Amino acid sequence: MTAPSPITILTADDHPLIRSGLAAVMSTEADLRVVAEAANGEEALEQYRAHRPDVVLMDLRMPVMDGLSATKAILAEFPDAKIIALTTYDGDEDVHRALAAGAQGYLLKDMLRTEVLSAVRSVHRGQRGIPPAVAARLAEHTPRVALTPRETEVLQLVAQGLSNVQVAARIGRTEGTVKVHLKNILEKLDADDRTGAVTTALQRGFIRLD
């Protein structure tokens, strides 16, 4: 009886050690095979076109083109592509963004080998690859309360240390408008002040300092 073809995998990560580690993990499994690697989002798209892998493990933070953009680009061209986000970002908003971009799974880089293998096989079967720890993080903040793009912009500027007057000048609005945005942000994030809002937003992945 002929053995089934292995699940082919593309790994996309700008760190060679991560890619080699994933290849080493997959090499121990008879039903999994890494067929291509990419160091940035553009390469991921090119390698997907060339190899049409069954599953993609996609880092979210990469140069040239980030993982979210690469995920959207691959799915726009290949709607049946199966992509798992692979990242160090553990905020619930990070997960929501990846799933909204079309990822069918979400893995943290420090997760156990068994969780990675399980997610790859689940996504290949057409199921979600969401480990219990990630699912629990999402459940902590259900229903989801999202910030608007303008609120996110204001909070990002506040996180950089700008005053209300400086934020208003940067976004081309009045100081009063900025105060309204901040009031809404505090309510949505259940924060008492600007510092608390920034801390919560960083923890949950609404904003980044880099």
Whether 142 has a pLDDT exceeding 80, the answer reads: no
* Fold assignment, 7-140: Rossmann fold (3.40.50)
- Between the alpha carbon of residue 23 and those of residues 16, 32, 33, 116, 154, the distances in Å are 10, 10, 8, 12, 41
Q: Which residues pair with 110 in a beta bridge?
A: none
* Between 111 and 46, residue with greater pLDDT: 46
Q: Is a pLDDT exceeding 80 seen at residue 210?
A: no
pLDDT at 13 over 80: yes
Tell me the mean pLDDT in the region 152-165.
96
DSSP letter string, 3-31: PPPPEEEEEE-S-HHHHHHHHHHHHT-TT
**Looking at per-residue confidence, does 1 or 20 come out higher?**
20
| The pLDDT value given to residue 137 | 85
Rounded mean pLDDT, 63-70: 95
Task: Calculate mean pLDDT across residues 171-178.
Answer: 96
Per-residue model confidence (pLDDT) at position 191? 93
Q: Is the peptide bond before 6 cis (omega within 30 degrees of 0)?
A: no
pLDDT at 207 over 70: yes
Mean of pLDDT values over 64-91: 95
Chain CA centroid to CA 61, Å: 8
Q: What is the pLDDT of residue 116?
A: 93
**pLDDT over 90 for what percent of the chain?**
82
Kindly state the average pLDDT of the residues 39-49.
98
Whether residue 11 is predicted with pLDDT greater than 90 in this model: the reply is: yes
Q: Examine the pLDDT at 1 and tell me if it is beyond 70.
A: no
CATH node for 149-204: 1.10.10.10
Domain ranges in the chain are 7-140, 149-204
